[in-house]
Amino acid sequence: MQSANYLVVLFSRLLTFVLLIILGVWGWQQRGLLFSPGRLSAKKQSGVTLQGFNSHAEFEKECKRCHQSLKKQQAFLCVDCHTNIATEGNSHTGVHGRLNNVLQCEQCHPDHQGEDFDPAQAALAFFDHDITSFRLIRHQFDFDATPLVCSRCHLSPEFNAKNQTCEDCHFSADVNFMSQHVIDFGKDCLACHDGIDSMARFDHSQTNFFLNGVHIMTECVDCHVNGQFQDLPIACAECHAEPEMHAGLFMESCDTCHSADGWSPALLDDQTFEHSNQTGFSLVRHTKDYETQTIKCVSCHEQGLENFTEQTCITCHNNHDLEFMGQHQVVFGSDCLGCHDGIDRYSDFLHDNVFLLDGKHATITCESCHLNHVFQGTPSLCSKCHAEPLIHADWFGLKCQNCHVSEAWVPATMLRHGFPLEHGGGNTQSCTTCHLDKYTDYTCYGCHDHEKAPLELNHIQAGVSVDELQNCVLCHLSGKIE
């Protein structure tokens, strides 16, 4: 009986030992799976291999790849494989570079949830999209009022946002607007938009280029060509070509003379500069030379802006018409600016607005009145050019036009004469026939012959004294013997 019991105990122990060996072999073969809380994820990313593995499931028997609690923190074991995450964390770039708990991987990406479990998808429940450069405040719903899900914008498992996704969606909502928007600004949507939207709140004054003057009215696309916003030039010359008129004469510091309020008027020494106002000479008719080339400042100011000589005018115009200029200088001299102001005031000058030129005045030369080429202050009174004849000096006054016209000095027109010049018939006599020296004195003997003695005797007998005898008109009012 005791032998039978002994054999049973021995067999039981042997069986237990064999089972332990079997369990040990099986445990060794299964390694950590014996104590695993669940199968690892078999999810893969197309084309992604880390340390020779495509998914966590491929190394689920090697627990130490993720669990070395006494040697190394689990997060560091994660980034040993996922080196791109380590780079983001260290450089503070990408999504993981913005996370405060970047070393607590398991909080967002748990595993041991089965082969079909997706650790990346699980992280979405904990993910705050605001830490990215694009917030979802205005992207909660689609244009058809349905909720926007992640896959609507993130078409790939890597969750990489692509501008094409933005373009496709917004084109479907407003193709006309988007077509022009892409032409104006290009296709890099995320360069301008952050979902809030940053352009709606954008203040250009916060950049390194303040918009004022006519720049305020400028369209964005005029400066931001092809949707370029980064590293744009701010120097005037980068956008505005230097005018040929002063090319090479001034430095490229345009704001020394010009402001954003307008290219003109320019400022020189803080004073508004207009060539016609500052110099008295307009450039309206001096923009092109005789060969249709642009006239530059240095074309006339060869020795600098402060220096100018009228020989410059003469040389230029001599090259065009030497014969005309030669005669012109003989008549008017070389003081070009004394007559010309660049508009040109003499090319459309109407003399009648100043002094009517008719009669003999219409045929005389300019220099006959404008002596020494003086034009300002030239007198318009007849007596200033025509000396009063001695024959009526101090008798008729200086309103020559009362008797004379510009056709000729003679014959004059006497509006009133107390004595009938034609004696009641016959031809009108010249003034000097009667008025030999001056018009206050006269004689009838220019026409009437006489002998003095008989004439005096006859008049004395008629009661006319010798003194009265010289005043014939006193008695002969009509020129006849009364």
Tell me the per-residue pLDDT of 249-270, one tens digit each, with 9 for 90 and over: 666 678 777 888 887 777 776 7
318, pLDDT greater than 90: yes
Out of 96, 127, 158, a domain closes at 127
| Same domain (yes/no): 343, 373 | no
User: Lowest-confidence range among 178-192, 228-242, 420-434?
Assistant: 420-434
What are the residues facing 50 on neighbouring strands?
Answer: 53
Asked if 324 and 278 sit in the same domain, the reply is yes
Of 127, 160, 181, the residue that ends a domain is: 127
Asked whether residue 232 carries a pLDDT value surpassing 90, the answer given is no
| Domain match, 51 and 123 both | yes
Number of folded domains that form the chain: 4
pLDDT interval class at 176 (50, 70, 90):
very high
- Which residue reads 């410059």 in tokens? 312
Six-digit token pair at 435? 């008025």
Please report which confidence band the pLDDT of residue 30 belongs to, taking 50, 70 and 90 as the band edges.
low
pLDDT band at 271 (very low <50, low <70, confident <90, very high): confident
- 137 found inside a domain: no
For residue 476 the two structure tokens come to 């002969």
One domain for residues 281 and 337: yes
Q: Residue 56: exposed, middle, or buried by beta-carbon count in 10 A (0-12, 13-18, 19+)?
A: buried
Is the separation of the CB atoms in 74 and 105 below 8 Å? Answer: yes
**Domain assignment present for 10:** no
Residue 408 lies in a domain: no
Looking at residue 411, what is its pLDDT?
77
| SS3 at position 240 | coil
Q: For residue 64, which of 50, 52, 81, 87 has the smallest C-alpha distance?
A: 81
Q: What is the pLDDT of residue 193?
A: 86
Instruction: Please indicate, yes or no, whether residues 101 and 65 belong to a single structural domain of this protein.
Output: yes
Residue 208 lies in a domain: no
Within-domain flag for 442: yes
* 343 and 356 housed in the same domain: no
Cα–Cα distance measured from residue 282 to residue 341, given in angstroms and rounded to the nearest whole number: 6
Residue 412's nearest CA partner among 443, 385, 391 is 391
- Considering the domain architecture, whether residues 323 and 305 belong to the same structural domain is answered as yes
Q: Quick one: average pLDDT of 285-305?
A: 83
Average pLDDT score over residue span 341-363: 83
| Reported confidence tier of residue 348, pLDDT bands at 50, 70, 90 | confident
Is residue 476 included in any domain, yes or no? yes
Query: Do 303 and 340 sit in the same domain of this protein?
Result: yes
Mind giving me the DSSP string for 17-71? HHHHHHHHHHHHHHGGGGG-SSPPP----TT--BTTBSSGGGGTT-GGGT-BTTT
Q: Omega before 265 cis (within 30°)?
A: yes
Q: How confident is the model at residue 29, as a pLDDT?
A: 56
Residues 439 and 427 in one domain: yes
Q: What is the pLDDT of residue 129?
A: 85
Closest to 466 measured CA to CA, from 449, 478, 452, 448 = 452
Do 287 and 371 share a domain, yes or no?
Answer: no
Average pLDDT of the residues in 10-37: 66
DSSP for 66-106? T-BTTTB-HHHHHHHH-HHHHHHHHHT-TTGGG-TTTT-HH
Mean model confidence pLDDT for the chain: 81
In contact, 31 and 65? CB cutoff 8 Å: no
Q: Does a structural domain hold residue 119? A: yes
Average pLDDT (327-349) is 82
Confidence of residue 319 (pLDDT cuts 50, 70, 90): very high
Q: What is the mean pLDDT of residues 309-318?
A: 92
Q: Do residues 30 and 63 make contact, with C-beta atoms less than 8 angstroms apart?
A: no
For the beta carbon of residue 3, count every other beta carbon within 10 angstroms: 7
Question: What separation, in Å, do the N-terminal and C-terminal C-alpha atoms of the chain show?
Answer: 213
Place 28 in a pLDDT band, splitting at 50, 70 and 90: low
Q: Does residue 1 carry a pLDDT above 80?
A: no
Q: What are phi and psi of 105, to 5 degrees?
A: -55, -40
Pair 112, 40 in one domain:
yes
Average pLDDT over residues 63-71: 82
pLDDT band at 65 (very low <50, low <70, confident <90, very high): confident
| % of the chain exceeding 90 in pLDDT | 5
In this structure, of 73-82, 196-205, 334-343, 378-387, the range with the lowest mean pLDDT score is 196-205
Residues 80-120 have pLDDT tens digits of 889 888 888 888 887 888 888 888 888 888 999 889 998 88
To which H or E segment does residue 385 belong?
A: helix 382-385
The parent domain of residue 327 ranges over 274-347
Q: Among 68-82, 307-321, 449-463, which range has the highest average pLDDT?
A: 307-321
Query: What distance in Å separates the CA atoms of residue 459 and residue 455, rounded to the nearest whole number?
Result: 6
**Among 347, 374, 403, which residue terminates a domain?**
347
- Choose the weakest-confidence range: 148-162, 171-185, 349-363, 456-470: 148-162
Indicate if 46 and 98 belong to the same structural domain: yes
Residue 24 pLDDT > 60, yes or no? yes
- Tokens matching residue 373: 């080429």
CB-based burial label for 320 (10 Å; 0-12, 13-18, 19+): exposed
Residue 136 included in any domain: no
